[in-house]
Structure 1
Amino acid sequence: METDVVSNYWNVYHPGGVRGPEAEPYLEQKIAALIQELPVLGELFDIHWKIGEGTFSSVYLATLKESRSSGESKKFAVKHLIPTYPPARVERELQCLRNIGGADNVVGIEFCVRSGASVAFVMPYIRHTKFSDYFCNMGTVELKHYMKALLTALRKVHMFNILHRDVKPSNFLYDRRNRRYLLVDFGLAQEYKEEKKVEMNKPQPMDNYCVKRKRTDENKRELLEETQKSETESRCYCFGKPRVCSLCLTRPSQIASRAGTPGYRAPEVLFKCPHQTPAIDIWAAGVIMLCILSASQPFFRSPDDCTALAEITALFGTDKMIACARKLGKKLLCSEQVPGADIVSLCQKLRARVDRFPNRKYRINSPKTVLEENYPPEAFDLLLKLLEVDYKTRITADDALQHPFLRGL
């Protein structure tokens, strides 16, 4: 609700937590600076307050000045990008909003404003409820509609070969009163390209076959000796030791995207896999569902990638994670073997924990006890398919919408 958005601004976005009249000058300065950079916004809109803030942008609530006479006050979200934001990202985000947005719960764009290095997107605004107000008291039917809306949005995005790369509750707006949904923030979106498959043992043309076979036979022994020699020289002996050999220091560093919010990154992102697929968005959707089923938010509280891998390993077991790392060409060492947890019983225990702590911040507001809200087995089956650690066998958004838990809505 809008009152929640205002209080959220005072609590989160203002430095030092200053509230009331003391915070008004700061807000007025921010809005004045925005209008000074983009004068056309001041001509068209009344900008009220900041409703969101990220690393590269700030989002403001605005209403059309023309609507004041009619009394309608149509609302818009104005996303102002920082001047140092890379132009390529601005172009990619704008293309996503124009080509994908406007349908299937994906945010669209009304128009874009630019003056010098300052850019702002004017987008539709929906009033939305904070995730902390509903994640722990969402029933089965509401969960079905919520997950169907999220997966529908992701299916639409993936149809355009785009990875959102930052799926999380604050980027999936939910108007609980009117049951409206909106996937927002394509600032980290990236185009997805199919991984090139190398054809092994490709047959050679018959004209050249005899010549190449003869040349290989003549140099076979010499080539084998050179290969064995190079393998011996390139073998690393510092693995597992408190030092780094000169060979490892000369090797190129691994380059892989680590975009996304901690706690919602997929295993292949944590393993620094260079080729990332739409499956990373599906994993993030699974984490959101896990938060709801367990009434725990955030579920993963990882300060770094190593801790994140340890948390996932504790949930799914060392065997699964070691096999996942091996398929990605990595090696995962664990100090002990962990069998993995039973997801159903774990979620039930975590939900029951809420009632035992009356002073807990996120207490269940439903008159029913937590244990009376028993989610069906199909919900946990879908959860496990969304959180499959191997991205190649992880369910797609299209297949997830055909799952028995969501079928028939």
Structure 2
Amino acid sequence: MEIDDIHRKDKTDNDEKDSCANLKKSIPLLKELFHIHYKVGEGTFSSVFLATLKSSNKHSHKKFALKHLIPTCHPERIERELQCLQQMGGKDHIVSIDLCLRNHGSVVFVMPYMRHDKFSEYVKDMTAEEAKDYMKALLTAVRRVHQFNIIHRDLKPSNFLYNRTNRKYLLVDFGLAQQCTEYNVKNLKKVTDEEKQKTEIQSMKRKRSNENNLSFQLNSNTAKNNTDNKCNCFEKPKVCTLCLTKPQQTAPRAGTPGFRAPEVLLKHPSQTSAIDIWACGVMMLCILSGTQVFFRSPDDCTALAEITTIFGSHKVQQCAEKLGKKIIFSENLPGIDIMSLCLKLRKRNRSMTHDRENSICKVPNIEYPKEAYQLLNKLLDLNYETRITAEQALSHPFLSS
């Protein structure tokens, strides 16, 4: 081991000790109840530690995961996650909660710990039977979440733990979960009409105000264009006054890049449990293609571009139109057969592994039935209204046979 590696290891060990010490300091009762060993995970809003009870039998040593939420977490978010764990946890592969501790601004959830494998260690060599069991467990957990009218909003491999040896699964992290609020088309149209009417009233007021302004009289031609109901900046490198007066559209966009559904990327206000189904589809796409991270998008625009390369520009434009949006592409891109794409990527991964190791390829040549790709297409339906549900997916021939 080189000197730099030794220093790096020492620094990591010191950081681990500091993290455990800070956790005990934030909630003193923890050091009375648990042996806190080390940090096993860290996210944007929390850190997870491995712990065992001090009073437990020496031969049992039941392990617990202590999820320490950052002090800046909103109380409503903490309450919502706690309610999810209490109401849904403990059944259908959903993590349960044993205890919740709070001291001033610090909150810790005490949950059962399950040893799990990394997604990168099994995604390239899952057999058809193993992939079937994995997706069945995932969709079973998602079905239970949706039965409570809840959207998980952050489904991804690191939040669906898998113990490959014991074939155990656990859906975790409900920090971004939200109540599902579905708007009907009439209400959406009503909101749109009200916003349009409000914009027209604001434009008329601005026109009357500007007519009394001397400076406006010197620029009457410009003002006439700005108060016109027709947008003048479409496809131009500028933003007209009419567009600036429109209320900014806001829509939930929580989730991890690469797993966000089209309706999230397009900022559609009516987001349903279908966004979880899309994330399940991306996870299945990773498995069938043998690719650890399929979409590597750093932002929403790039994410839409990546989706377009698979489904084609025409289908993405149709999807956007149904959501009241418009997308313009510099060129028309054809769609790709998803089964052919997965087979090509899996073949590429095998050849890359073979070349790198310069020996017998360790990635097996696995064949999945056509029913698997049929289910994948239904999970990755661009239209959230026709996208398959978790209940329907579990009845699909690939999972029910």
TM-score, normalization by structure 1: 0.85
Amino acid at match of 1:281: D
Q: CA separation of 1:263/1:18 partners in 2, compared to 1, >3 Å: closer, same or farther?
A: farther
SS at match of 1:77: strand
SS at match of 1:123: strand
Give the root-mean-square deviation of aligned CA atoms.
2.4
The answer as to 2:223 corresponding to 1:235 is no
SS at match of 1:238: coil
Q: CA separation of 1:325/1:365 partners in 2, compared to 1, >3 Å: closer, same or farther?
A: farther
Structure-1 residue corresponding to 2:112: 124
The answer as to 2:379 corresponding to 1:391 is no
Structure-2 residue corresponding to 1:324: 319
Structure-2 residue corresponding to 1:100: 88
Structure-2 residue corresponding to 1:184: 172
Q: Deviations over 1:228-254 (max 9, x none)?
A: x98x83221101101111111121111
Deviation at 1:96, TM superposition (A): 0.3
Amino acid at match of 1:271: L
Amino acid at match of 2:262: P
Query: Is the contact made by 1:136 and 1:363 (CA closer than 8 Å) also made in structure 2?
Result: no
Structure-1 residue corresponding to 2:369: 376
45, 52, 56: which one aligns with 2:45: 56
Question: How far apart are the structure 1 equivalents of 2:87 and 2:399?
Answer: 27
Deviation at 1:66, TM superposition (A): 1.0
Q: CA separation of 1:349/1:165 partners in 2, compared to 1, >3 Å: closer, same or farther?
A: same
Q: Deviations over 1:302-357 (max 9, x none)?
A: 11111110110110011111110000000011111111001111111100111222
Deviation at 1:70, TM superposition (A): 3.0
Q: What does 1:4-403 align with in structure 2 at a 5 Å threshold?
A: 19-67=8-56, 69-198=57-186, 233-358=228-353, 369-370=364-365, 373-403=366-396
Q: CA separation of 1:290/1:235 partners in 2, compared to 1, >3 Å: closer, same or farther?
A: same
Question: How far apart are the structure 2 equivalents of 1:79 and 1:296?
Answer: 29
Q: Deviations over 1:111-164 (max 9, x none)?
A: 100000000000111100000000000000000000000000000000000000
Q: Deviations over 1:167-187 (max 9, x none)?
A: 000000000000000000000
Q: CA separation of 1:164/1:348 partners in 2, compared to 1, >3 Å: closer, same or farther?
A: same
Q: CA separation of 1:90/1:236 partners in 2, compared to 1, >3 Å: closer, same or farther?
A: same
Q: CA separation of 1:367/1:54 partners in 2, compared to 1, >3 Å: closer, same or farther?
A: closer
Question: How far apart are the structure 2 equivalents of 1:401 and 1:43?
Answer: 45
Deviation at 1:197, TM superposition (A): 4.8
Q: Deviations over 1:200-256 (max 9, x none)?
A: 9xxxxxxxxxxxxxxxxxxxxxxxxx99x98x8322110110111111112111101
Query: Is the contact made by 1:133 and 1:362 (CA closer than 8 Å) also made in structure 2?
Result: no
Question: How far apart are the structure 1 equivalents of 2:256 and 2:30?
Answer: 31
Deviation at 1:296, TM superposition (A): 1.2
Question: How far apart are the structure 1 equivalents of 2:292 and 2:358?
Answer: 12
Query: Is the contact made by 2:354 and 2:360 (CA closer than 8 Å) also made in structure 1?
Result: no
Question: How far apart are the structure 1 equivalents of 2:160 and 2:390?
Answer: 16
Q: Deviations over 1:19-68 (max 9, x none)?
A: 4334222211111111011011111100111111011100000011112x
Amino acid at match of 1:379: A
Deviation at 1:359, TM superposition (A): 7.2
Structure-2 residue corresponding to 1:5: none
Q: CA separation of 1:62/1:271 partners in 2, compared to 1, >3 Å: closer, same or farther?
A: same
Amino acid at match of 2:122: Y
Q: CA separation of 1:167/1:54 partners in 2, compared to 1, >3 Å: closer, same or farther?
A: same
Question: How far apart are the structure 1 equivalents of 2:359 and 2:291?
Answer: 11
TM-score, normalization by structure 2: 0.86
Question: How far apart are the structure 2 equivalents of 1:319 and 1:254?
Answer: 25
Q: CA separation of 1:333/1:405 partners in 2, compared to 1, >3 Å: closer, same or farther?
A: same
Amino acid at match of 2:152: H
Question: How far apart are the structure 2 equivalents of 1:56 and 1:363?
Answer: 42
Q: CA separation of 1:366/1:404 partners in 2, compared to 1, >3 Å: closer, same or farther?
A: farther
Q: Work out the percentage of aligned pairs sharing the same amino acid.
A: 58
SS at match of 1:406: helix
State the number of aligned residues. Answer: 364
SS at match of 1:61: strand
Q: CA separation of 1:333/1:261 partners in 2, compared to 1, >3 Å: closer, same or farther?
A: same
Question: How far apart are the structure 1 equivalents of 2:172 and 2:324?
Answer: 34
